[in-house]
Each structure stands twice: as C-alpha cells, then as structure tokens.
Amino acid sequence: MTTNNVPTYRAVLIGLGGIGGMRAATAAGSAETYGPMPQSHAEAYQRHPQANLTAVCDLRPEALEQFRENWKDVWPDLRTYTDAKQMLAEESPDLVSVVTSDHAHANLVVDAAQTESVRAILCEKPIATTLADADRMIEATAEAGVLLSIEHTRRWDAQHSEAKRLLASGELGPVRTIHAELYSQRAMLFRNGTHQIDLINYFADGDPAWVVAELEEGFDHYTEYQGDGGKDPDSEPYASAYIRYDNGVRAFYNTYKTDFPGSQIVVTCEAGRLEMSDRHGRVIRGASHFEWSSTDLVAGSLMYERIVGALHELIHTLEHGGTLVSDGAEGRKTLEVILAIMASHEAGNSRVDLPLAP
C-alpha cells in the first residue's frame, strides 16, 4: 500500500509482554509528534510512518484484551489472535515482530518466514537458547529471502553507534582489549547478559575463537538453558568470562547480581580508549603516562533509535538493500559465546574452542 507516495507495510506483533505491547503514559495525542523514545514494539509501530499494525497475537486472551483497551484510540480496528499461524495466514503481513520469551522465538520465526507475504522479521534477543533453533531460524529466513533482525537494542542507540563509527574511522587505532560489566539483580546470562556479550562482539569486530568462563556458584547443573523466560533472576546464572577473538582482541565479560544496577563497557585501542555506560560516554587519548585528555563521547541524537531504529533499518533495507547491523548470523554469534561460557564452566573452567558443534 502507498500513502502520500510513501509505501506502508502491514505489520503484526506476536507476544504482548512489556517490551511487546507496553504503552507509556503520555499526554493525549502527544506520542504521534513527540514524547519519549518508544520502549516497546507497539510504540515503535505507532511512531514509524511506514508501518501499519493490523493485528496482534498472544496465547493469553487477557493480554489481548488489555492491549486492545490500551491502544483502542490508535488502532480501533485491530484484530487479535491466540494462534500465530492463523494470524499469519489471515493477515498476510509484510513485517512480523516476535516478542515472546527467550526460548520461544524459533518456531514463530520459522512460521513467519514460511508465510508468503512476509518480507522482514524483527525478533527479540537473544536469537534463541540453542544453536539448533538459531540455525533453523537463519535457514528458514535465508531460504525465503526474508530479512531477520535480532533486537539487541544498543546497536541502534546513538552512543554505541557513534562509538562504532569512531572505532571504524581508525582514529583510535586497532582495538586491543574490551571489558564489559553488568551488575544488577538481573545480571542473568541469557536475559540481560546477551546485551553485553553482543556489544563485545560488535566492537571486537572479529569471530570469537575460544572462551574460558565461570558461572555463578550453585549453577553447576546449568549445562543448557533452564531459565523461565527471563522472569526469576535465580533461574539463570551471572558469569565471568575471557573471550579471545581471531583478530587478537582480548575481551572480558564480568557480571554479578548486585543491588547496585548498571553496566559499562571499556574499549581500549592502540591510541586511545572509549568508556561507556548506560549513563555516559567518554573518549580518552593519552600522549604519555602522565597526560591524558578526556572528552565526552558526543553522540548527538538519531531520528530513529533503539527499537524504532531497528524497525526503520529493516524497512530501509527492504527498500534499498544492504546489510543489517544485527542479522541472524550476528545474533547466533552472541548465542554461541553464551553457550561457550556454559560449556567452559561444565568442563571445569577450561578453554572451549569455537565454533561449537550445533
């Protein structure tokens, strides 16, 4: 369909938890023109001028009812389903968001990819919880020529995008080491750790070659995903790991369940260093041991950021071609590091070489 000479795309959303369906409280009508950054897929579809959400799906009828109530002024004719396959068949969407829990992405992505009308899928992170599932998703989308983007949100925020640009410019020289930390009661390996591991992969710009790691005490049984979809922090361990990349980058992933919440990542290069947290970023350049300059990492702001940035990139890539910043292969790379961390712990904290057997 085309409106004002701009093509619009039929979209559907599967999974109506917070990140799927939440609507932030804003002054009436303000969200269409200004207001806070979209925090959910529904808000991203509301804001993007080329997306038209026609239907949503959840296994829980009460989630559908709540969604309909929350969004009735925006989408009065929205249709609701409890069966995703039925929705895909009846709605003929172009775009599909998969926002179900971590271990419930694969079948839905495969079903969406095999739906004739579908051209692009935005799937929440982590891509999956097993390599077999990730491979099914990548194969099904590749076979159908459908774009697959994994929503590791920080790849579309202004600060981390600017950091990536600065590193790629060569101004700071080659990356040597990366230290990523995550501390909060939700420092869970799959659910939240995936963001930090994904950032390490993003900045390392190579392939992980081997890993040595230790899980939280009391998690010796954790040899495969045993989480509850990311609800209870006790259902997933925190971890510490050393990740060696094929291009020589040495990375450290260190997390702990603390009351003090936060995360940071430090990228040290041959001629400078980037220090970034969720609050602040700075660039350090050193002329000697005694003279360091420190400036803010000035990121400006992006027209489309975070989830709506991911959606915008998908639509832009559909129309103009190009490579997605977080495609299925990138999502799989992050999952493989998570699984290697578990495998190293299981093997008595010894070195695990990648690639892992699927």
Ligand X SMILES: NC(=O)c1ccc[n+]([C@@H]2O[C@H](COP(=O)([O-])OP(=O)(O)OC[C@H]3O[C@@H](n4cnc5c(N)ncnc54)[C@H](O)[C@@H]3O)[C@@H](O)[C@H]2O)c1
Q: Which residues bind ligand X (CB under 6 A)?
A: 14-20, 57-60, 63, 84, 99-102, 104, 108, 124-125, 151, 153, 191, 229-230
Looking at this protein, which amino acid is placed at residue 337? V
Strands 2-3 vs 6-7: parallel, antiparallel or unpaired: antiparallel
At residue 311's C-alpha, the angle toward residues 313 and 125, to 5°, is 105
At residue 33's C-alpha, the angle toward residues 32 and 34, to 5°, is 110
Give the nearest distance from C-beta 125 to ligand X in angstroms. Answer: 5
| Other CB atoms within 10 A of residue 10 CB | 19
Give the nearest distance from C-beta 129 to ligand X in angstroms. Answer: 10
Give the nearest distance from C-beta 315 to ligand X in angstroms. Answer: 18
Tokens encoding 273: 């260093």
Give the nearest distance from C-beta 230 to ligand X in angstroms. Answer: 5
Which CB, 18 or 76, lies closer to ligand X? 18
CA 183 to chain centre: 18
- The HSE-up count of residue 296 (CA atoms within 13 Å, CB side) is 6
Which CB, 59 or 302, lies closer to ligand X? 59
Which CB, 46 or 192, lies closer to ligand X? 192
Give the nearest distance from C-beta 50 to ligand X in angstroms. Answer: 21
Which CB, 48 or 125, lies closer to ligand X? 125
What is the distance between the alpha carbons of residues 167 and 148, in angstroms, rounded to a whole number?
26
Give the nearest distance from C-beta 61 to ligand X in angstroms. Answer: 10
Give the nearest distance from C-beta 228 to ligand X in angstroms. Answer: 9
Nearest to 40 by CA among 306, 316, 261: 306
203 with 196: CB under 8 angstroms?
Answer: no
At residue 330's C-alpha, the angle toward residues 326 and 333, to 5°, is 155
Which CB, 42 or 354, lies closer to ligand X? 42
Which CB, 101 or 185, lies closer to ligand X? 101
Return the residue nearest ligand X (CB atom): 17
Which CB, 106 or 267, lies closer to ligand X? 106
Strands 95-98 vs 9-14: parallel, antiparallel or unpaired: parallel
